C-alpha cells in the first residue's frame, strides 16, 4: 500500500519506469506525462534498473543508523546526581561531559525530568498512593488564615489602608493584645478530604481545640454518610487535638480506625495539604472581602464548586463528585 500523500501508486511508478528504461522516453517527458518532477521520474527509473518490479514498493522512512543508547553506568550517574544533588540537565551534562539534551532525555525516560516527581526530603522518587474505594481513608487537618478587618485586608486595599481598617475593627470589637496592639484573631479552617474521591468538607472556627475537632468529625461523617460513603479510617498529623483522649474515644465510638502521620512528615498527608493551598488561592485570598463574616460565608459555595464543578488533575480532569457514581442528583 502506497503512502497516503504519494503522487504515484506502485503500478504507475512501474509504468513510468518502463517508459524511461524500456521505451527510451526522456525522464523530463515521462515526468510531464505523469505530472511529477523529473527528479522523481529519474528516481523510479533508477530503482527499476537496480531492483526491478520490487523496487517500486514503498520503503521505510526510518533512518538506517540509530543513535547509540546511553550506557547504563552513565544513566546511573545521571540519576544519582538528580536524586542526591537535585541538579538540572545543564549542570549534570557539565559534570559528565555530555550534551544537556542527552541528559534530559535520560531523565524523561526515568521520570525524573521534573523535581516535583522527587521527594524533597529524601531525594527519592515520590511514592504516591490512592485508596480503592470511598470512605476507606479520610484525611483531616487544620489550616489557619488571619481574620479580615472591616473594609478589607492589606492584600487588596494596600498596607496603609489595611492598617486603618485593622484599627477601626479593633475599636469596634475591643480586641487587642497586652501591648494594646491590633488583634484580629485567626480563622481556623478544619478540613476533611476523602482519599479516593477527593471530596472535601470544611468548617471555619475560632480555635483548633479537641472539642471543636471532634464536632467537625461528627458532622463530616454525617455529611459523607448522606452521600453513601461509609468511613472506615481517618488520618491526621500529631496536632494536640488529634492526640487527645477525646479524639481517641470519639474514633472508638464511631468505630473508625485512627492513623497518625510520622512526625515532621507532612507529605504523608499530602492530599489535604494540597487542598489547603487550593483553598487559599481559590477562596481565602481570591478576591476582596470587606469582612471576615463575608469570607466565612463564601466557604460553603466554594466547597460546592470544588466538589461538583472544579476539574481535578488527579481525577483526569473530572470533579470529585463523579467518583460517586452510585448516587443520583449529586452531579449537578
Residue 315 pLDDT level (bands cut at 50, 70, 90): confident
Q: What is the mean pLDDT of residues 55-64?
A: 82
- Residue 131's pLDDT band (cuts 50, 70, 90): confident
Beta bridge mates, 2:
none
pLDDT tens profile 233-292: 999 999 999 999 999 999 999 999 999 988 877 777 888 998 999 999 999 999 899 998
CATH architecture of 138-147+185-323: 2-Layer Sandwich (3.30)
| Mean pLDDT within 39-65 | 87
Higher pLDDT, residue 129 or 21:
21
**For the residues of 66-135, what is the DSSP string, one character each?**
-PPPPPHHHHHHHHHHHHHH---HHHHHHHHTS-HHHHHHHHHHTT-SSGGGB-TTT-SBP-----SSTT
Count of positions (residues) in the chain:
332
pLDDT digits (tens, 9 = 90+) for 133-167: 899 999 999 999 988 888 888 888 888 888 888 88
Q: What residue ranges do the domains of the chain occupy?
A: 10-56, 72-117, 138-147+185-323
Q: How far apart are the C-alpha atoms of 290 and 148, rounded to whole Å?
A: 7
| % residues pLDDT > 90 (the chain) | 48
Instruction: Tell the residue number behind the cell numbers 472544579, with chain if given.
Output: 310
Strand order through the sheet with 138-146: 200-205, 186-194, 138-146, 233-236, 257-260
Is 50 exceeded by the pLDDT of residue 330? no
Average pLDDT over every residue of 216-238: 93
pLDDT at 129 over 90: no
Amino acid at each position: 500500500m502506497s503512502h497516503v500523500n504519494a503522487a504515484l501508486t506502485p503500478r504507475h511508478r512501474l509504468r513510468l519506469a518502463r517508459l524511461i528504461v524500456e521505451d527510451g522516453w526522456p525522464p523530463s517527458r515521462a515526468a510531464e506525462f505523469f505530472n511529477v518532477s523529473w527528479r522523481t521520474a529519474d528516481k523510479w527509473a533508477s530503482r527499476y534498473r537496480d531492483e526491478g518490479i520490487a523496487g517500486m514498493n514503498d520503503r521505510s522512512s526510518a533512518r538506517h543508523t540509530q543513535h547509540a543508547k546511553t550506557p547504563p553506568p552513565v544513566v546511573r550517574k545521571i540519576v544519582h546526581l538528580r536524586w542526591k544533588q537535585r541538579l538540572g540537565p545543564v549542570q549534570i551534562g557539565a559534570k559528565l561531559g555530555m550534551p544537556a539534551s542527552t541528559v534530559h532525555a535520560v531523565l524523561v525516560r526515568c521520570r525524573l525530568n521534573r523535581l516535583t516527581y522527587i521527594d524533597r526530603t529524601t531525594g527519592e522518587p515520590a511514592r504516591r498512593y490512592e485508596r480503592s474505594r470511598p470512605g476507606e481513608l479520610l484525611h483531616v487537618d487544620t489550616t489557619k488564615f488571619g481574620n479580615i478587618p472591616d473594609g478589607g485586608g492589606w492584600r487588596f486595599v494596600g498596607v496603609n489602608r489595611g492598617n486603618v481598617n485593622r484599627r477601626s475593627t479593633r475599636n469596634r470589637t475591643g480586641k487587642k493584645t497586652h501591648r494594646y496592639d491590633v488583634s484580629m484573631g485567626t480563622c481556623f479552617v478544619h478540613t476533611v478530604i476523602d482519599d479516593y474521591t477527593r471530596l472535601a468538607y470544611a468548617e471555619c472556627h475560632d480555635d483548633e481545640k479537641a472539642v471543636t475537632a471532634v464536632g467537625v468529625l461528627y458532622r463530616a461523617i454525617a455529611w459523607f454518610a448522606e452521600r453513601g460513603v461509609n468511613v472506615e479510617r481517618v488520618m491526621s498529623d500529631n496536632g494536640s487535638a488529634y492526640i487527645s483522649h477525646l479524639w481517641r474515644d470519639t474514633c472508638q465510638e464511631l468505630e473508625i480506625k485512627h492513623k497518625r502521620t510520622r512526625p515532621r512528615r507532612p507529605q504523608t498527608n499530602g492530599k489535604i495539604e494540597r487542598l489547603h493551598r487550593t483553598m487559599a488561592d481559590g477562596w481565602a485570598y481570591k478576591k476582596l472581602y470587606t469582612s471576615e463574616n463575608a469570607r466565612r460565608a463564601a466557604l460553603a459555595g466554594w466547597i460546592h464548586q470544588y466538589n461538583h464543578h472544579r476539574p481535578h488533575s488527579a481525577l483526569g480532569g473530572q470533579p470529585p463528585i463523579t467518583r460517586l457514581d452510585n448516587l443520583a442528583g449529586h452531579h449537578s
